[in-house]
Every structure is written in structure tokens, then in C-alpha cells.
């Protein structure tokens, strides 16, 4: 039996985006994020983190360091009553300094590979799923994967007056809207994605 998922970008949505975060001591949750994840899980969503991590391809840290951080995140959330069904990450970046990761992959958002991989492994119903991200590449990945709903959030839950207007500031606000029945399906003006190259962020 398939179930819906809540796909969550990591940096800027779950934790403050301080740039290539790969150590637990540098990891700080966006206010309200843990409770929002708890509410999503209670509502029947499998929680799946989908995160671009080009710091690996840039030689800033290795996959083992990234996986260790993921283990620490899982443990901390478990203590708070939140279970992560999966953490999917993409370590690639075209023209990166580490040759092994300098590939044009199918998992770096806006490509849908991480979402599709998790959907196969966990038997997820993508049409009933939702994605939360702070970049248009997140929203585009959701669209390409067939995720039913998506929310564009403000990075770190803080409005940027010079940037694009988000659907909601933080994950907690978006979860309020979702569970209240006001999430917007793909195709709405708020979720329309402009052209981009997928390489503009430091993810």
C-alpha cells in the first residue's frame, strides 16, 4: 500500500543555511521546523529529506561526513518524536573540482532523481505527496517527479525583500496551510518556475 510523502529540502528549510553545513555543531534548526515535521508525520506523511550537497564535489567535505551528519540528525529528531523515512542527497556538480563527482547526474535538483529514488524504495504515492523547498530548483524537481503539491519557502524562514516572493515564510507556516487545506497544486501562479540553470546556488 502506497503512502504520501513530505519531501523536505534541508538547508534553509530544516536548518539555517550557513553555507555547506556538514558538522552537527554548525547545524541549527529553523524555528518551528521540528514541530512542523512532527505534525506532518502525524498526518500520515513519510518524511524524506532531498538535498543537493555539492560541497562533496567541491572538496569541502566527504560523503562520510555528510552521512554522519545525517545519522546525528536522525537521532536528534527521533528523540523529539520525529522519524525520517529517508535522507537522499546528491553529491554531484558538473565541472566540480573533484573529478569523481563532476558529472551531469539525474539526482541534482532540479532533476527529479532523488525524489523518484525514494518513491521506488518506500512505495510512495507521488500524486498525494508534497514538497517544501526554498529554491525554484526544488519546485521544479517536484514538478518533474509528479509530486502533487509544493511550497516555495523563504530561506531560513526570513523574508528577502529583494528576492522572489515565497508561498510562505517557513516550514511551520506551510504546514499550517497544508493541514488546513490551502496548499496550492502545481500549475498555480505561485508555483510557476522561471528559467534557471540549476547551478546558481551554493548547494
Nearest-angstrom CA–CA distance, 67 and 63: 6
Q: Is residue 164 domain-resident?
A: yes
Which structural domain, as residue segments, surrounds residue 32? 5-191
| Arithmetic mean of pLDDT, 132-154 | 98
Residue 88 lies in a domain: yes
Is residue 31 domain-resident? yes
> Structural domain tally of the chain?
1
This prediction's pTM: 0.90
Q: Is residue 200 part of a domain?
A: no
How do residues 55-104 score in pLDDT, each as one tens digit? 999 999 999 999 999 999 999 999 999 999 999 999 999 999 999 999 99
Residue 100 lies in a domain: yes
Rounded average pLDDT over 40-51: 98
Question: Beta strand 46-52 with 130-133: parallel, antiparallel or unpaired?
Answer: unpaired
CATH code for the domain in which residue 15 is found: 3.40.50.1000
Whether residue 117 lies inside any domain: the answer is: yes
User: Does the pLDDT value for residue 195 go beyond 50?
Assistant: no
Catalytic residue among 11, 17, 167, 173: 11
* Residue 11 annotated to the active site: yes
**Phi, psi dihedrals of residue 39, rounded to the nearest 5°:** -65, -40
Which of the following is catalytic: 9, 17, 138, 173? Answer: 9
The verdict on residue 197 lying in a domain is no
Q: Is residue 182 part of a domain?
A: yes
Amino acid at each position: 500500500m502506497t503512502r504520501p510523502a513530505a519531501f523536505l529540502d534541508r538547508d534553509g528549510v530544516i536548518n539555517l543555511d550557513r553555507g555547506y553545513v556538514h558538522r552537527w555543531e554548525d547545524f541549527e534548526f529553523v524555528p518551528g521546523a521540528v514541530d512542523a515535521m512532527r505534525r506532518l508525520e502525524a498526518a500520515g506523511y513519510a518524511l524524506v529529506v532531498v538535498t543537493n550537497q555539492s560541497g562533496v564535489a567541491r572538496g569541502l567535505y566527504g560523503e562520510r561526513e555528510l552521512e554522519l551528519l545525517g545519522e546525528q540528525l536522525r537521532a536528534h529528531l527521533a528523540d523529539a518524536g520525529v522519524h525520517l523515512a529517508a535522507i537522499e542527497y546528491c553529491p554531484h556538480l558538473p565541472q566540480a573540482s573533484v573529478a569523481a563527482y563532476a558529472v551531469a547526474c539525474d539526482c541534482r535538483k532540479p532533476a527529479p532523481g532523488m525524489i523518484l529514488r525514494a518513491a521506488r524504495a518506500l512505495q510512495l504515492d507521488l500524486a498525494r505527496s508534497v514538497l517544501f523547498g526554498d529554491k525554484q530548483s526544488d519546485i521544479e524537481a517536484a514538478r518533474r517527479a509528479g509530486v502533487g503539491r509544493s511550497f516555495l519557502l523563504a530561506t531560513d524562514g526570513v523574508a528577502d525583500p529583494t528576492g522572489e516572493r515565497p508561498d510562505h515564510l517557513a516550514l511551520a507556516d506551510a504546514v499550517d496551510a497544508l493541514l488546513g487545506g490551502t496548499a496550492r497544486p502545481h500549475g498555480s501562479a505561485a508555483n510557476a518556475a522561471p528559467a534557471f540553470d540549476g547551478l546558481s546556488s551554493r548547494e
